[in-house]
Amino acid sequence: MKIRVLGSSAGGGFPQWNCNCRNCRGVREGSVRAQRRTQSSLCISDDGLDWVLVNASPDLLAQIGAAPRLQPGRAVRDSGIAAVLLIDAQIDHVAGLPMLRERSSPLPVYATAQVMETLEGSLPLLPLLRHYCSVEPHVIAPGGEAFTIGPLQHTRCHAVALDSKPPPYSPRRHAPVRGDNIGLLFDDQQTGAAVFYAPGLGSINEAVAEALERADLILVDGTFWRQDEMVAQGLSRQSAADMGHLPQSGPGGMIEVLDRLPRARKVLIHINNTNPILDEDSPERATLRRHGIEVAFDGMEFDL
């Protein structure tokens, strides 16, 4: 199982185009040692030729350009992207779908019924695509039962229901239901390796705890360091919990959760531009290193 992180930032990317927080200003001026990041997405493959795109970021074209393996030359028009798997309907995870409209065959899209519903109605990207390449929809259930995706010959996928929030344009924004947000557990049937991917995670329910225990590699929500991070910087009135994210620090935070998993490789992903862990010289980054927790970056690769 081969995995490449295409984008490691939360919505807006890093630096965010209109933000002058310490991190964004510092990376532009060169006063903060940090890597620029595009919005959250990754891809997974068994053979290194055909890839499943997990989320379609607004930055998809730049991400493809930075990943030559997604540009094979088997024909005049070709792509290594064989299917798309969506974890939710958030704009930073789906806005790249129209960039795939030039396909010569219908685009296979895997998502829960709730995400499909949002992409048919509130954010009608699937009707849009039907005017171009068309869509081959595959509805997945958020119960953890194994399902397969054509290009992945020996990797099984499991959709794990998460406690988080649907996007602001969803009619269920303040009353989420099972299937609005999922994490993904990937099992390689040949190597026995397991990967859990959950870039948006509001709390640790029983299903999530089981997936974390099972995983050899964890790619998990790294959005905020503090519960009041956006409020303290004068950027929002909402806490991390209000936005459906579990912060790293504090009682019950992500560091405490990951400390209970000594066997797995632990990587934070979907990092907001305000999070001090983006500064590689920050005390918060040093804290992560002491706990054996890594910070994802664009182009990071894993071979399990």
Q: Which domain holds residue 222?
A: 2-299
How confident is the model at residue 175, as a pLDDT?
Answer: 83
Residue 86 lies in a domain: yes
∠ Cα 181 186 189 (to 5°): 155
**Owner of token pair 């299937």:** 179
How confident is the model at residue 296, as a pLDDT?
Answer: 98
How confident is the model at residue 58, as a pLDDT?
Answer: 97
How confident is the model at residue 150, as a pLDDT?
Answer: 86
How confident is the model at residue 164, as a pLDDT?
Answer: 79
Neighbour-count burial for 148-184, b at 16+ CB within 10 Å, e otherwise: ebebbeebbbbbbbbbbbbbeebebeeebeebbbbbb
Q: DSSP letters along 133-169, please?
A: T-EEEEE--TEEEEE--TT-SSEEEEEEE-S----TT
How confident is the model at residue 77, as a pLDDT?
Answer: 87
How confident is the model at residue 234, as a pLDDT?
Answer: 84
**Can you say whether residue 237 is alpha, beta or left, with left for phi > 0 and alpha for psi between -120 and 50 degrees?**
alpha
Residue 214 lies in a domain: yes
**Structural domain tally of the chain?**
1
The domain that contains 69 carries what CATH number?
Answer: 3.60.15.10
Q: What is the three-class DSSP state of 102?
A: coil
How confident is the model at residue 73, as a pLDDT?
Answer: 83
Residues 184-242 pLDDT 10s: 999 999 999 999 999 999 899 999 999 999 999 999 999 999 988 988 888 888 888 88
Phi/psi at 302 (nearest 5 deg)?
A: -135, 140
Neighbouring CB atoms inside 10 A of 35's CB total 14
How confident is the model at residue 27, as a pLDDT?
Answer: 97
Q: Which residues of the chain have pLDDT under 50?
A: none
Tokens in use for 108?
């296979």
How confident is the model at residue 8, as a pLDDT?
Answer: 98
Residues 47-76 pLDDT 10s: 999 999 999 999 999 999 999 989 888 888
User: Are the beta carbons of 178 and 241 closer than 8 angstroms?
Assistant: no
Residue 259 lies in a domain: yes
Q: DSSP letters along 26-95, please?
A: HHHHT-S----B-BSEEEEESSSSSEEEES--TTHHHHHHT-GGGS--SSSS--SEEEEE-S---HHHHT
Neighbouring CB atoms inside 10 A of 264's CB total 19
Q: Which residues pair with 3 in a beta bridge?
A: 44, 302
User: Are the beta carbons of 214 and 185 closer than 8 angstroms?
Assistant: yes
Residue 304 lies in a domain: no
How confident is the model at residue 290, as a pLDDT?
Answer: 98
* Rounded distance between C-alpha atoms, residue 268 and residue 301, angstroms: 14
How confident is the model at residue 106, as a pLDDT?
Answer: 96
